[in-house]
Each structure stands twice: as C-alpha cells, then as structure tokens.
Structure 1
Amino acid sequence: MRRLLRPVLGVATTALAVLACTTPATPASAADAPYDVLVFSKTAGFRHDAIAVGTQAVRDLGAANNFTVTATEDAAAFSTANLARYEAVLFLNTTGDVLDPTQQAAFESYIGSGGGFVGVHAAADTEYDWPFYGNLVGAWFASHPAIQQATVKVEDRAHAATAALPQSWPRTDEWYNYRTNARSTARVLATLDESSYSGGSMGGDHPHAWCKTYSGGRSFYTGGGHTQSSYAEPAFRSHLLGGIRYAAGRAKADCRPETGYTPLYNGSTAGWSQAGPGGFTNADATLTSHDGMGLYWYSAKQFTSYSLKLDWKLAGDDNSGVFIGFPPSTDPNSAVNNGYEVQIDATDAADRTTGAVYTFKSADLAARDAALNPPGEWNTYELLVEGERLQVLLNGVKINDFTNTDPARSLAGHIGIQNHGTGDDAAFRNIRIRELGGPTGNTTVQAEAYSAASGVSAYPKAGANGGQTLGYVDPGDWAGYHGLDLTGVTSVRARVVSGGPGGTIQFRTGSATGTVLGQVAVPNTGSWTTYADVSAPLTGVPAGAQNLYLTFAGTGTGLFDVDDVTLVRSPAPTNGTGPVRGLGGKCLDVRNGASADGTQVQIYTCNGSAAQTWTVTPNSTVKALGKCLDVSGAGTADGTKIQLWTCNGTGAQNWSAQSDGTLRNSGSGKCLDVSGNTSTDSTPVHLWTCGTGANQKWTLP
C-alpha cells in the first residue's frame, strides 16, 4: 500500500530537476585571476563530431570567465616549455594513443609540477598502455549503450563542477561503463542511476564525474560530452566550467576519496533540533540560516571519535560556525560554554575567523587562505576528532590542530551549526559523519542511508532512530552501503519492525549477488510500530573498506522495515610500538633513516634504530619518524612505491592487519609486499595484489 507513494515522489523530483537544468548558467566567479587553458582533441581512434562545438563552448566559457583558450590537435604542444604556459590542459574527446614517449614524459612533469588536467568523455578512451595517464584520468572506458536519457545523481554539491546542479539531473548523452570504479582513488562527484536507462553494467555504484589530486597536480573528469547538444546545455556548461576552474587551481575542493560516511543531513532534518531564537530554512537539501543567535544541533546522538564533514557557504562578510563537544541542552549558550566552535567568518581577528577554534586557537592563516573559496562559493570542512585532539581541514587541507586540555570541556558530545543573527547568511549542505569506533568498535549504519538500492526507499516512522526506516521491502529488493570498514566484524545486529509477513535479510559483499556472509530471520514484530532486534553471526568477512549489501527474501509484499544495522566487532587491539618483521626475519626500515616525504621504505637487518621503530594503530596508520607509511600517489597498480609521507588521513595511509599475516592497504585493497621475494638488505617494499607468499607476511609489535 505504501509503495503507491513512490511514483508521485519520482514525478516531483524529475520536475524539480528539469526546472533547475533550465536555469541559465552564470559566470562562476568574476574574481578569478586570469589563466590559460590548452584544449587538446587529437584522435587516433573514433572521432566525435562534437569536438568542434565542444572547443567553441570552452572558448565561450573562457571569454566569460577570464581565461584564454588555445586549441590544438598537434601533439608537439606537449613539450615542457609549452605546457608551462597553461594552468590546465583539457583532453576533449581524445581517443587512442595520441602522445609519444617524449611527450608523455613532458606531460607527467607538467602534472608533477602542479598542473591541472580536465578529461571530457572519451578522454577515458585514450592511452590504454600509459599507466600514469590511467591513474590521472581515474578509470578507462569499457563500453557504452545507445544514446538515451538517464538520471545523473549529484553526490558532491560543494565542488565547483556540481554545486549549481540539482541532486537529480536528467539529461541525454552517451553513458560510459568503465573498466574499474574510480571511487577508491578519487572523490566521486556524480553517479549514474542505472535504473533510469538501459545498458549500465557497473551495478549499484556507477561513478560518472570525479576529481582527484595525483602526482602533485589536479584532475577532473566527466563522462558527459558525447553529443553536440551537450555543449549548448547551460547546466553542462556550468559543470564543465567548474571542472576547469578546479583543475586550474581557481576553485578549491576536497577531492580525497570518501567512503564510509553516514548522512546526518542531506535534505532530511530528522534528528535535528533548534536551540534558541532564529533557525534555518530547509530547501534543495540546503540549510540556510536566518535570525538568531541560535544553534541547530543534532540531538539524536552524541559522538566521541569521528570525522565530521560538511559543506558551507557564506553570502558575504557573514558569521557562523560549527559547534562540537557539548551536552544536550535547549540553551545555545550551553554549546558556547561547554563545547568548542570551529569558526566560519570571512573577516575577524585571527582567533575568531574561518578555521579558528573560536577564541582558543587561530588557524594557520597562510594555509587557510590558500585553501579557502571566497564568499559566494562552497567550502568543505572536515573536523577530525580523535579523543581530545581536533584537526580542522578546509577543502582537504589541514589548517588547525588543537588539543583540549580543559577538564571542564570535552570534544565528545553533540554537534551543531550556528545561526548567528539577522544579516549573517550562512548555508550548509551534506553534513555527514564517519565514526572511528567507540570502546566496542561497533559501527551502526542507518538503514535508510544506503549508497544504492533497488525497490526500497526511506520511510518516515515514529520511533525510528533518525526518524526514518528503510521501507517498501519486497522479495528480491536490496540496499547497498559502500565503503564500510568490515575489519574485525564477527556478527551483525539489525533493528527491525514488521506488521507484515516478515522474511529474511541476507548480508553480502561486493554486490547484491555477492558472497553471503550470513543471514537473519525477521519475524512479525506485532505491529508496524513495535521494534525488535535480530542478530546473526557472520563468517568469511573481508577486511578493509567494502561494499555491504542487504538482500531481502520472503513471501508476499511489505515484508518488514529496517531501522538500523550494527556491525559488531571483537574488542579492538591496542596500539603497538616496535619493529615490523617480515621476510627472512628482516625489519621494515626507512631508508637511511631519512624523514623527508617520499623516502623509500625497505627491509633491512633489524638494528633497533628509530628508522625501524613503528607505531601501529589497528585499522589505521603505521608510523615511523613522525610520518606515515604511504602508497605513492594513492596508487592501486601492482608495484606502486611504498614511502614515508606526512600523515594526511587518506586511504593511502590506512593499513589493516589480516588474520593471514598480511598488511592490507584500505585505499587500494592490496598488500604490503617485499619486491622480488628476496630478503637482501635494502630490498624495497611495494604494493601488490594480496597473495599467500612469505614476502607478504608481517609480524607487528
């Protein structure tokens, strides 16, 4: 019966998206300093008839947005001297092998010195035998169906390429399937809804546009742009312009890979409460402040160790902030007196402007200024709380590092956003959190916060944690949750409710037809408002970041609702400090005891030196000499260098010890390996597909 609501909601969403797409695009920023873009459209395979109109569209964007455009199909333009003229190089529907080895080397040097890359559509159908390019673009083309309309789901609405787009963006183009999923190495900005068209083959997670940093430079890719008509669409032109501005360094963004976050706000205000006067309007999945001074706080739950991310924008010289670590209260002054505020203010004293822990510690203003987008544009905060340490990252760059030493305060508690007062206009989007684990290390996921699904959708329900359940569950439906760290998970607990026939939940990895880890029977709980917990052991659970799928079985329709799912772990091991021993009893060693970023990590006869003293944090970092064990360039290819690098919280520095003795990198899913399976002193270690050899076995402190 409830299922009848879904077509009506779908029509409303589509209508809103169409209205948004017909809004004329405006210049992104009148304040951009002038810059130069090289458009390269050489083809050695299929030639798109949209190249000419695409080139003209970029010229038009440049004329309106303060950049000049040089267009060429001459690969000789790829020389070190010539490339140095440009802030960004745009590959426009290139195909095949278009650069010779000398030109490739010049382009690698250009990216390494901080250059920008924009890939449009068939840029992913280019240079299949050049690994650097494959890593730069993010994924290679595999296949495509016929040109047709599909729905693009905008996942990141802070990036300049997607901030002006609706969450659901229907358009017509040629939709690429890719050989690999870019999510593990890039920040996915938009995905394709494969249920909205025919011929998608990437399952529930189909990235379509993404950004990343790579080898010192910036990369943006969009799968759109096959058709000539694409370049006449205001929304697509806005999308393309934002990608160019990011690649050229004119728009800042957090383009680190992101998985495992649970939405606290992405349109639904369930779990939120207003303290004090004023408040926030909620429209287009955006909270906009009015009046005050008050606080909009997430009252449903307190948090201890976590990564909180949110997108924010000021209209001008306005004032707002993010509060953390305060107890529940209807008085906004409780947050001021008991918690901490990470300030958002375009202009104020150093200890109370953007990035400051208000009145306690100024941000690194030089780093802040280099990472900050101006009023009128979106920014992203990450507030990383580990115990009583708070690190503040702005658009992926660390700008503050603060430790609470006041016994009357704590970083643990509720989180909230401030409405400062009349005339202080601040907006927020996509507030999400990844908990780093409490005393039991368990992780609870709200069932309605799925990454992909078939048949099911969120349903508002009294008594539900977060105010919603996963409803409309029929046999054959499924829901997927991407990027969950399953390390150490031994069982699962689900909070369910059913006034219907009940049924079964199966827990799978990889896909909706993947390996079954376990299953649990869901009974009729007595009514649609009577909740119950059901649990089951899981076996064969893979470690690291995984895609977890719930598949549903039973007889009839309207089987049950799922409120939340808790991944239950055994007690987490404690940190260890000492040698990491590997092949031939040799120790993991920092070459020559150097602490410079990029220093090679190797094996060497154990000697007890600082270069062989590692601090291992379970399912997190491996540190020596104050820096982290790191996969160079966040690479995923076999043979990628393992090095020492300044700790930055990315998947390239996240390692999980496995029961078989291997040490797996969560960003790539591959293992720490001794090159050539030899124990000779100074043999480097590198990244390699996980296996059973002794060269991948490690004994940790």
Structure 2
Amino acid sequence: MTPARKPGRRQRGKHPRRLAALAALALGGALLTGPVAQAGAAEPYDVLVFSKTAGFRHDSIPTGIATFQELGGEHGFTVTATEDASAFTPANLAGYDAVVFLSTTGDVLDDTQQDALQAYVDDGGGFMGVHAAADTEYDWPYYQQLVGAWFKSHPAIQDAVVETEDHEHPATAHFGPTWLHNDELYNYRTDPRGRVHVLQTLDESSYTGGEMGEDHPITWCHPQETGRSFYTGLGHTNESYADPDFRQLLLGGLEYAAGQKDADCAPSGVPGGTPVEAESYTDGQGVQPAGHGAASGGQTLGFIENGDWAGYAHVPVDGAATFTAKVSSAGAGGTIHVRAGAPDGPELGTADVPNTGSWDTFQSVTTPLTAGGTGPLYLSFTGGAGSLFDIDSFTLAPAGEGD
C-alpha cells in the first residue's frame, strides 16, 4: 500500500526579485564566512554558497568554499557561505544572483524553504549544483529537474577521460576534446539528456565502475522557467579545487547561473527515445511520488486519481509524434491525456491504462500524437473511483523514431 495522500505541489505565482545586493545578512552563528569581493570591482554580483548536509559530509566542502571566495576576489563577486537553511526566504534570496549547493546531502530544506528556492529560480534566479548536490532532496520532485538528475552510486576515486561536448559555454570553452581528471565519478538514476544541455560526458571505457553506458553526462546546464541551472558531478576531492581547469569550470558555470554570461543551454528538443522519470514533474495536482522497488529509480508518479494532473516544464511537446509510458495498476486503470502547455491545454493524444495485476507489474502503453503541439508537456488523468494507476517513466519521440 502507498502512504496516505498529501496535497501535490501546485504551480506558484511569480514574485519580483530585488536586484540590489543585500546590505546585511543576519544568520547568526550558522554563517560560515562573510562576503569576499574584489576591491574596486565594477558592478559586483552576489552569490550564496549553501553546504548543509543531512547525510554524508564531504571533506572538500571547506576547500570548495575557499575556492568560490578566491574566485570572487579575482572576478568581482561577493560570496556568503552558510549552512543555515533559514536563509531560504523570498526576501533574502532576492539579494543574490545565484545560489550554489556545494556538496549538500539529504533533506536540507523544509517545505517553506523549498517553495522559496523554487520561486527564486523560476522567477529569474540562478542555481548551481556541485557534486553531491545531486544527492539531495530526494522527496522533492521539482529538485530533480532543477539539479538535472539524482545520484545513484559511484566507484572508487580514479582517473577518467572527460569528453567535452560544448566548446562555447563559459564553463567548458577552455577544454580540448578530452580531459584526464581524477575524481569520484557519479552514476545517476536517470540520464538527463533531453531535459538538459550536456556540456561534458564520461568515457566509461577509461575507468572502472561506470553504470550508464555510452552516454554518461557529468556536467550540464538548462533554463529553469525564467532562471538558469548549472550542475557538475565533479568536485569530490580537495585536489580538484586546485586544478586550474576545474576552477575555470566552476567560474564559467557560476557566471552562467548568475546571468553574467550568456550561453545556449536549451535542451535539445524532444527527448527522442530518452525516458523521462514520471515523478520528475514540476507542478501538479493530487499526484506525488510513490516508492516501488521494481520501478526505475525506485519511484513512480503515484496516487493518481480522476481529475489529477502533472506538468513537466522541462519536457517540450514540440515535434513529438508518439507518447509511450511504462505503467502499472492494481486499481481501476484509466486514461492518460497528453496535453500541450497547460493541464487543460490542447489534447494531443490519449493512452488507456489497464489493470496490470499489481502495482509492481509494469507494461507499456502508447499513443500517436496530433502534430502541431507546442509548449511544455502536461498529463491529465481520468478514470473511476480511487487510485487509477502509476507511471514509472515515459518517452516522447519525433516522427520516425521508436520508443
């Protein structure tokens, strides 16, 4: 049995960001370090570095904080480092151009603080995740989209070949085609490609313990509503932060996240065969993640009842010709309505979901889609009484591509 229902996250209203730098931040004893700025720098910007941990704590966190401070002194931005989650209020976040999650782990924000961060980024703020930022907030579906993918596992620290896909982004423009780097190399629960713009990948043939195959993204970026997100899975070791190439990677990523430098971080169109985890919805009604050992990533989009819906701001329907979903049901079954732009937007297709015999017995359902849909994907659900079905993952594919 899945746990009792709780209200789903709903789309939030916007709020204006305060562009002026914060004059003072009263975080008491939790404030780790004060602002560091380049003397005489014109129009400096402001960055909040957050490193709270509720799980494994990386020894490199102090070195990472010092690195951001040094980069700020060299390149004209101020750094405030804290582990006090009470910093996550709309008024306080409005004073920053970017927020960095530096090897955070576990559940570090409560619901109110999560709402503040989501509103901040969606309304034009910047987010940057470093290394274990992907090992954070597993119970918050929005965060999976914000960071790009959740951590799954890692092998021992070792050398690996990092391949550069984007030679124009300020974080990776200084790299050649390949870079030999020593680090702790994360495997992720899902491949984020199709939802993010991949900047670097790992060559799994160059090291042992890779679990993602030929496509193993490790650094990426993407727009988030009107804000920006950048993530790199590198940065476990203290030695990484002394590497000039890695420091430039951090600097360029931060400059993008803070809106100081432009970059093309748009995801590459329709996922086209890359499964999207259904629990990675960005807004919804009624639905919530449900734990299932047989599901990819261990979770599904669950608690689906008649009239519920889920939205995916990171998944465009433009050019999609088919929709395929991996589903299970020990309930009434029902219908998935594929829509464009809104929960009640144009219906592009429907897929009927039968009772599969149990909540852990999955099968695929598919439907062709009407051409011409634009905007983000929304799924709405209809059926009988009670729980209808769960969705593990789904795929949108353009004409000519299978699932």
Corresponding residue for residue 634 of structure 1: 314
In structure 2, do the counterparts of structure 1 residues 242 and 158 end up closer, same or farther at CA, with 3 Å as the change threshold? same
Q: Does the 8 Å CA contact 2:159/2:207 hold for their aligned counterparts? A: yes
Matched, 1:72 2:82: yes
Deviations 1:265-308 (A, max 9, x none): xxxxxxxxxxxxxxxxxxxxxxxxxxxxxxxxxxxxxxxxxxxx
What is the Cα deviation at residue 33 of structure 1?
3.9
2:198 to 184, 188, 199: 188
Matched, 1:164 2:213: no
2:383 to 677, 681, 687: 677
Q: Does the 8 Å CA contact 1:151/1:192 hold for their aligned counterparts? A: yes
What is the Cα deviation at residue 169 of structure 1?
0.4
Alpha-carbon distance between aligned partners in 2 of 1:142 and 1:67, rounded to the nearest angstrom: 33
One-letter code aligned to 1:634: H
Matched, 1:246 2:246: no
Corresponding residue for residue 151 of structure 1: 161
What is the Cα deviation at residue 674 of structure 1?
3.9
2:273 to 511, 536, 546: 546
Q: 3-state DSSP class of the match of 1:94?
A: coil
One-letter code aligned to 2:100: L
Cα RMSD, aligned residues only = 3.6
TM-score when normalising by structure 1: 0.37
Alpha-carbon distance between aligned partners in 2 of 1:31 and 1:640, rounded to the nearest angstrom: 53
Alpha-carbon distance between aligned partners in 1 of 2:339 and 2:126, rounded to the nearest angstrom: 25
Alpha-carbon distance between aligned partners in 2 of 1:664 and 1:144, rounded to the nearest angstrom: 42
Corresponding residue for residue 121 of structure 1: 131
One-letter code aligned to 1:633: A
Alpha-carbon distance between aligned partners in 2 of 1:226 and 1:187, rounded to the nearest angstrom: 22
Alpha-carbon distance between aligned partners in 1 of 2:72 and 2:87, rounded to the nearest angstrom: 20
Higher relative contact order (CA 8 A, sep 6+): 2
Q: Does the 8 Å CA contact 1:190/1:210 hold for their aligned counterparts? A: yes
Alpha-carbon distance between aligned partners in 1 of 2:240 and 2:136, rounded to the nearest angstrom: 21
What is the Cα deviation at residue 643 of structure 1?
4.7
Q: Does the 8 Å CA contact 1:50/1:228 hold for their aligned counterparts? A: yes
What is the Cα deviation at residue 113 of structure 1?
1.4
Alpha-carbon distance between aligned partners in 1 of 2:41 and 2:49, rounded to the nearest angstrom: 23
One-letter code aligned to 2:313: G
What is the Cα deviation at residue 34 of structure 1?
1.6
Report which of the two has the higher share of strand.
1
What is the Cα deviation at residue 227 of structure 1?
0.2
What is the Cα deviation at residue 644 of structure 1?
3.5
What is the Cα deviation at residue 109 of structure 1?
1.1
Corresponding residue for residue 644 of structure 1: 341
Q: 3-state DSSP class of the match of 1:190?
A: strand
TM-score when normalising by structure 2: 0.63
In structure 2, do the counterparts of structure 1 residues 63 and 632 end up closer, same or farther at CA, with 3 Å as the change threshold? same
Deviations 1:430-450 (A, max 9, x none): xxxxxxxxxxxxxxxxxxxxx
Deviations 1:124-151 (A, max 9, x none): 0000001111110000000000000001
Give unpaired runs (5+ residues) of structure 2.
1-39, 275-283, 285-309, 317-324, 328-335, 352-364, 385-390, 396-403
Q: Does the 8 Å CA contact 1:135/1:635 hold for their aligned counterparts? A: no
User: What percentage of aligned pairs have identical amino acids?
Assistant: 53
Matched, 1:232 2:242: yes
Q: 3-state DSSP class of the match of 1:220?
A: strand
In structure 2, do the counterparts of structure 1 residues 197 and 138 end up closer, same or farther at CA, with 3 Å as the change threshold? same
Matched, 1:176 2:186: yes
Larger Rg: 1
Q: Does the 8 Å CA contact 2:218/2:233 hold for their aligned counterparts? A: yes
1:34 to 29, 33, 44: 44
Matched, 1:100 2:100: no
Q: 3-state DSSP class of the match of 1:256?
A: coil
Deviations 1:163-208 (A, max 9, x none): 0112100010000000001111000000000000000000100000
**When the two structures are aligned, how many residues end up with a matched partner?**
280
Mapping of 1:486-497 within 5 angstroms? none
Q: Does the 8 Å CA contact 1:672/1:688 hold for their aligned counterparts? A: no
Give unpaired runs (5+ residues) of structure 1.
1-29, 260-482, 484-543, 548-599, 601-629, 646-652, 679-686, 692-701
Alpha-carbon distance between aligned partners in 2 of 1:89 and 1:244, rounded to the nearest angstrom: 9
Corresponding residue for residue 44 of structure 1: 54
Alpha-carbon distance between aligned partners in 2 of 1:57 and 1:641, rounded to the nearest angstrom: 46
Q: 3-state DSSP class of the match of 2:199?
A: strand
Q: Does the 8 Å CA contact 1:173/1:226 hold for their aligned counterparts? A: yes
In structure 2, do the counterparts of structure 1 residues 147 and 108 end up closer, same or farther at CA, with 3 Å as the change threshold? same
Q: Does the 8 Å CA contact 1:631/1:640 hold for their aligned counterparts? A: no
In structure 2, do the counterparts of structure 1 residues 137 and 660 end up closer, same or farther at CA, with 3 Å as the change threshold? closer
